[in-house]
Amino acid sequence: MVKRYLAVLLSGLMIMGSVCLTGCGSTSETATTDTKEETTKEETKEETKEDTKEDAKEDTAAGGDNLSESKDLLAAAEKDLKTTDGHEMMAAGTTAEVPEATASAEDLEKLEDTDKEKWHFYEYLDWDTANDATFPESPADGQKGKKVVLIVHGAHAWTTCYQEAFEAACDAVGMECEVYDPNWDQSTQDGYVDQAINEDPDAIVVIPVSADHAAQQFKKICDAGIAGFCSNTLPEADAMNYIMAYTGPDDWAQMRNLASALGKAMDGKGGVCYITHNVGTSPYYARTYGPMSTLATEYPDIKSLDVQSPGFEAAAVKQVVSDWITKYGDELNAIVLADDSDQAIGAVEACKDAGRSDIKIVAAGNSKQGSELVESGDLFEMSYQSCQADAGLAVRTISEYFCGEDIARVSYIGTDIINKDNVADFTPCQW
We find the least distance from the C-beta atom of residue 13 to other proteins, in angstroms, to be 9
> Closer CB to other proteins, residue 124 or residue 180?
180
We find the least distance from the C-beta atom of residue 327 to other proteins, in angstroms, to be 24
> Closer CB to other proteins, residue 181 or residue 400?
181
> Closer CB to other proteins, residue 17 or residue 300?
17
> Closer CB to other proteins, residue 14 or residue 76?
14
Angle value at C-alpha 235, between 232 and 239, nearest 5 degrees: 135
**CA-to-CA separations, 258 to 63, 104, 360, in angstroms, rounded:** 47, 28, 12
> Closer CB to other proteins, residue 210 or residue 293?
210
What's 155's DSSP letter? -
d(CA 43, CA 38): 8
d(CA 89, CA 80): 9
> Closer CB to other proteins, residue 210 or residue 288?
210
Length of the chain: 431
We find the least distance from the C-beta atom of residue 232 to other proteins, in angstroms, to be 18
> Closer CB to other proteins, residue 2 or residue 61?
2
d(CA 87, CA 430): 11
We find the least distance from the C-beta atom of residue 153 to other proteins, in angstroms, to be 10
We find the least distance from the C-beta atom of residue 399 to other proteins, in angstroms, to be 25
Cis amide linkage into residue 428, ω under 30° from 0 = yes
We find the least distance from the C-beta atom of residue 178 to other proteins, in angstroms, to be 9
> Closer CB to other proteins, residue 213 or residue 356?
213
Task: Give the pairing of strands 410-412 and 332-337.
Answer: unpaired
**Are 277 and 288 spatial neighbours (Cβ–Cβ below 8 Å)?**
yes
We find the least distance from the C-beta atom of residue 218 to other proteins, in angstroms, to be 11
In our burial notation (b when 16+ CB lie closer than 10 A, e otherwise), range 265-303 reads bbeeebbbbbbbbeeebbbbbbbbbbbbbbbbbebeebb
Give which of 133, 127, 125 is closest to 221, Cα–Cα: 133
> Closer CB to other proteins, residue 55 or residue 199?
199
Cis amide linkage into residue 366, ω under 30° from 0 = yes
Q: Dihedral sign, CA of 161, 165, 166, 168?
A: positive
We find the least distance from the C-beta atom of residue 340 to other proteins, in angstroms, to be 23
Order of strands across the sheet with 415-418?
302-308, 270-275, 332-337, 360-363, 381-385, 415-418
> Closer CB to other proteins, residue 11 or residue 60?
11
We find the least distance from the C-beta atom of residue 40 to other proteins, in angstroms, to be 21
Q: Dihedral sign, CA of 374, 378, 383, 389?
A: negative
Q: Dihedral sign, CA of 326, 328, 331, 336?
A: negative
323, exposed or middle or buried, with CB in 10 Å at 0-12, 13-18, 19+? middle
The total of other beta-carbon atoms located within 10 Å of residue 59's CB is: 15
Interface residues with other proteins (CB under 8 A) are 2-3, 6-7, 10, 14-15, 17-19, 21-22, 25-26, 29-30, 154, 180-188, 190-192, 194-195, 197-200, 210, 212-213, 215-216, 219, 238, 279-280
